[in-house]
Structures are given as C-alpha cells and as structure tokens.
C-alpha cells in the first residue's frame, strides 16, 4: 500500500529493506527512510540502494522506473519468510552475478514454496514490465494473488484489522522497543594487548595526517623525509 501511494505521486522509494519498516504502537506497519527516494516520471539512472536488493536493470545501468520497488518487495517477502535474501553473499559482485542469473537458479526454501513462492517469482521477473504490478491490472494483480486469499484489504486500509503483533508502548517517550537486546548484539571478541607498543604513536599520526589534508597533502615524517601524503 505504501509503494502504491508513492508511485501514484511518481516517487520511487529505491531502498526497501527490513530496516526501513517500523511498527506503530497499534501494530500497523510504516515505510520509512526516504533518503534515496526520487520523483521520476520516466527512467532514472542513479545506482543506489542495498546490493542484496538491487534489480537487474540497476546492476546493468540500463535505467529504471518504479518497477524496481516491486522487485525489492519480492526480495523482502523472500527474506521475511526464510531469514535471508535470495541472492545473499558476503561479496557484492557475487550478489550481482546471482541476480543476473535470476530467481529460477535459486533453490527455494520450504518457507518460500507454494503460493508465496509463486508471488515472489512473479515479482522477481528480470524484465521490469513482466513484474506482477507492472502488468495490465496494476497493483490489483498483487492484491488478488492467491497468497492473499482471505486477506481483507478494506479492513487493512481502514485500520479495522486486528494486527498479529502489537508492541508494548508505555508512552510517547518510551524508547524501550529501540533498545537492542543482549542476545541480538554481535559477539564481542576479547582483545589481549601483546605489549609491543604498536599503537604508541597512533593518535599522533592521525593528527599529522589530518594536518596534511588541510595543508595540501604534504607532510614531514619523524625522520624528516618529505613525502607525498598517500591520500587526498
């Protein structure tokens, strides 16, 4: 519904991902982070977003339209169902290679089978015009998909639907839901100082390099050798 609203105003979001979704105190979802959004009545060519969510036309630099948002919706559904995006990799270039090979080359996890798998594949079409909401019928094609059987869009739009999860919010200034739980935080690696003094002049070197930037990129080392700074 949020993407439909944006597209009606010729706005492409370009950055859909789980981190951009928040819940109100009533349990209804909101799309946030408009930092990469753009008003576009035709194609736009800026490469931006999150690699795991890049559409093929973004990678190929062919120009793209609001169809990229429907691609990212397909990625989002896959990730929310299975825990990982379909083209995941530690290396962006590997992600791009997988994207260009297509969703048909991705083993579908059990959670992404059946009707939801069909919906995901209908959104992750390599050709933008073939994505479900881009075909004749528009967004209604998505709303009428079998995965949404028994989903009351009217109740959803009018906020009459009972949300499956309602966060506990004590007041308008209650930030408890934004505090990271200990079990969600990355594991810290214990550091043991080897006692070599390797970091003795670290702060001094940082100040020297910062001064170099301000003075045109020249600096004098401790041994008085004049060198070109290795950065601009």
Question: What are the structural domain ranges in the chain?
Answer: 2-170
Note the pTM of the prediction, 2 decimals: 0.76
CATH number of 2-170: 1.10.510.10
Question: At a CB cut-off of 8 Å and minimum separation 6, what does 21 contact?
Answer: 29, 30, 31, 32
- Average pLDDT of the chain is 88
190 DSSP assignment: P
Task: Quote the pLDDT of residue 182.
Answer: 78
Q: What is the band of 193 on the pLDDT scale with cuts at 50, 70, 90?
A: confident
| pLDDT surpassing 70 at residue 221 | no
Q: Which residue matches tokens 């969510």?
A: 53
Task: Quote the pLDDT of residue 44.
Answer: 95
| pLDDT surpassing 70 at residue 225 | no
Report which of residues 179 and 68 the model is more confident about: 68
């Amino acid at each position: 519904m949020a993407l439909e609203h944006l597209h009606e105003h010729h706005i492409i979001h370009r950055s859909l991902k789980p981190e951009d979704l928040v819940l109100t105190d009533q349990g209804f979802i909101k799309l946030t982070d408009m930092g990469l959004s753009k008003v576009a009545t035709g194609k736009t060519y800026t490469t931006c977003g999150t690699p795991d969510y890049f559409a093929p036309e973004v990678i190929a630099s062919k120009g793209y339209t609001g169809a990229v948002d429907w691609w990212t919706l397909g990625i989002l559904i896959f990730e929310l169902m299975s825990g990982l995006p379909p083209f995941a990799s530690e290396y962006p270039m590997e992600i791009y290679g997988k994207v260009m090979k297509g969703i048909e080359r991705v083993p579908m996890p059990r959670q992404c089978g059946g009707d939801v798998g069909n919906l995901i594949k209908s959104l992750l079409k390599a050709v933008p015009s073939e994505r479900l909401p881009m075909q004749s019928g528009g967004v209604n094609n998505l709303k009428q998909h079998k995965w949404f059987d028994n989903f009351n869009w009217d109740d959803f739009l009018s906020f009459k639907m009972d949300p499956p999860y309602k966060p506990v919010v004590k007041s308008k200034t209650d930030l408890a839901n934004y505090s990271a739980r200990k079990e969600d935080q990355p594991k810290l690696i214990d550091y043991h100082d080897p006692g070599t003094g390797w970091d003795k002049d670290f702060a001094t070197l940082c100040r020297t390099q910062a001064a170099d930037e301000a003075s045109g990129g020249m600096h004098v080392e401790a041994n008085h050798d004049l060198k070109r700074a290795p950065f601009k």
